[in-house]
């Protein structure tokens, strides 16, 4: 099996894997799926993801086909590096292999400019025409014309707050803080038309390639607010050379007044996803992020 054959017959890949006709090497690929590097007969490699059946957890329906659709949608903009989708099956996703490299200031600046171009390519509405996921959790993607503040409160804050309260990760104090943010979103400002965004752009989903570019992987792609992607890049230690990413972005598409103060507001969605998935370990992060969003300080505890 070579790359040309795989592109022409993607449905054959599971059979080749079952009969060990493709060399498979485990690689790091996230906390949810099993990832491997597949080496084909012509020397090309692809990155493959499968659902870890051994855990006993059922695979969410449409998980891989949704990721493939989001990758293709981001790639269609022709703005930023996004791996080509080679195989998209219900139980298997295979992508163009990207040789990893080291982040540099030049790569960060290029990525900032390219991310601005991606966002500027726009989206027809908030949400998307395909089912949504954030990690393995569902994300309500029913297209909505906005305004963004209402859509974000209803579709990106309240559902994950409910999950986090139901699983015991958040108590009454944190619940009240997040509910105050959701109720005040319109007053907190920043409404813009929908941008074409990655949607889960924490630093681990920005892959630095050997070609000196930043590549987008593992998206929760949809029409959203461009500040959300930028705020998520600052989470969990922050992307390398984040100052250069932001400066280059702002040169291409200047950010609206007050964007720094709104960073915690946009981060709140992803930290709520973490309490929904991982429990009380992120309780204090949710509280600090919500408080920072309400105060407009632009600062929160985001190094968890």
Cα–Cα distance, 282 to 5 (Å, whole number) = 45
Q: Determine how many CB atoms are found less than 10 A away from the CB of residue 258.
A: 13
- Whether pTM > 0.85 for this model: the answer is yes
Q: What is the pLDDT of residue 57?
A: 81
Mapped onto helix, strand or coil, the DSSP state of residue 115 is: helix
Select 3-96's CATH number: 3.30.360.10, 3.30.230.30, 3.30.200.20, 3.40.50.720: 3.30.200.20
Cα–Cα distance, 160 to 204 (Å, whole number) = 21
Mean pLDDT on 72-90: 97
C-beta separation of 271 from 139 below 8 A: no
Confidence of residue 298 (pLDDT cuts 50, 70, 90): low
Cα–Cα distance, 97 to 105 (Å, whole number) = 23
Is 105-295 in CATH node 3.90.1200.10? Answer: yes
Segment 64-79, tens digit of pLDDT: 999 999 999 999 999 9
Cα–Cα distance, 226 to 157 (Å, whole number) = 17
Give domain limits for the chain: 3-96, 105-295
Mapped onto helix, strand or coil, the DSSP state of residue 192 is: coil
Segment 174-232, tens digit of pLDDT: 999 999 999 999 999 899 999 999 999 999 999 999 999 999 999 999 999 999 999 99
Confidence of residue 52 (pLDDT cuts 50, 70, 90): confident
Burial of residue 139, with CB atoms counted within 10 A of its CB: 0-12 exposed, 13-18 middle, 19 or more buried? buried
């Amino acid at each position: 099996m070579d790359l040309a054959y795989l592109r022409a017959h993607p449905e054959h890949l599971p059979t080749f894997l079952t009969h060990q006709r493709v060399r498979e090497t485990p690689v790091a690929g996230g906390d949810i799926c099993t990832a491997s590097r597949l080496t084909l007969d012509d020397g090309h490699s692809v990155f493959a993801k499968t659902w870890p059946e051994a855990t006993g957890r059922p695979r969410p329906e449409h998980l891989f086909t949704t990721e493939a659709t989001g990758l293709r949608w981001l790639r269609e903009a022709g703005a930023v590096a996004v791996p080509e989708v080679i195989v998209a099956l219900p139980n298997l996703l295979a992508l163009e292999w990207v040789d990893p490299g080291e982040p540099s200031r030049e790569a960060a600046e290029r990525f900032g400019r390219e991310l601005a171009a991606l966002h500027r390519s726009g989206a027809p509405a908030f949400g998307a025409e395909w089912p949504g996921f954030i990690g393995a959790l569902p994300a309500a993607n029913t297209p909505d014309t906005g305004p963004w503040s209402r859509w974000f409160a209803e579709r990106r804050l309240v559902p994950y707050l409910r999950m986090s309260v139901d699983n015991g990760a958040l108590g009454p104090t944190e619940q009240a803080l997040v509910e105050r943010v959701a109720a005040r979103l319109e007053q907190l400002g920043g409404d813009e038309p929908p941008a074409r965004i990655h949607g889960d752009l924490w630093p681990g989903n920005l892959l630095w390639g050997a070609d000196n570019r930043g590549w987008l992987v593992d998206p929760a792609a949809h029409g959203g607010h461009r500040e959300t992607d930028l705020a998520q890049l600052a989470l969990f230690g922050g992307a390398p050379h984040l100052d250069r990413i932001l400066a280059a972005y702002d040169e291409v598409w200047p950010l609206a007044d007050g964007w720094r103060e709104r960073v915690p507001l946009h981060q709140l969605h992803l930290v709520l996803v973490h309490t929904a998935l991982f429990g009380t370990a992120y309780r204090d992060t949710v509280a600090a992020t919500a408080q920072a969003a309400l105060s407009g300080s632009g600062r929160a505890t985001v190094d968890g």
